[in-house]
A = this chain, B = another copy of it.
């Protein structure tokens, strides 16, 4: 992952190349995302930007634009607002461990064999289902360290 300044420069270039402006609010949201190693929801971003004057609806509009341009990626979670993170263009490719008690999202990037299996599958889908894969998402749901100690038994919930 690149330093924040460089990421912002890249994002600026990316937005302009697509014919959009990097306005104040867009810069602020991009900065919040670039400075956060994990994920933020719309409201957290709005809070972070407390001092600057920005409306919640603008945050959503910016995030939607960013998703459309693939600057960021939306993670929909059960019971709660969607989370956003910079896309793989700016972050390393990874997937998520989601704690079903506290909702915490842990990134992981241990793959090796897995990713090659995934791309084999993607070719299969194209043949068998005529389905063209643009992105894949792998999530593990469970109980994190804080919410439940590791034991030999599966969690009861």
Is A134 touching B143 in the complex (CB atoms < 8 A)?
Answer: yes
Give Cα distance in the complex from A94 to B134, angstroms.
19
Minimum CB–CB distance for A126 against chain B, Å: 6
A131 and B110 within 8 A (CB): no
Residues B141 and A134 in contact, CB atoms below 8 Å apart: yes
Cα A126 to Cα B144 in complex, Å, equals 9
Q: Which residues of B contact A74 (CB under 8 A)?
A: 78
- For the complex, give the distance between the alpha carbons of A132 and B155 in Å: 8
Complexed CA–CA distance, A154 and B70 (Å)? 14
B137 touches A141 (CB 8 A): yes
Residues of B within 8 Å of A121, CB to CB, are 110, 114, 140
CB neighbours (8 Å) of A145 from chain B are 129-131
Q: Kindly state the separation between the CA atoms of A13 and B28 in the bound complex, as whole angstroms.
A: 55
Residue of B nearest to A106 (CB): B129
The 6 closest A-B pairs by CB, nearest first: A130-B145, A133-B142, A134-B142, A133-B140, A135-B141, A137-B139
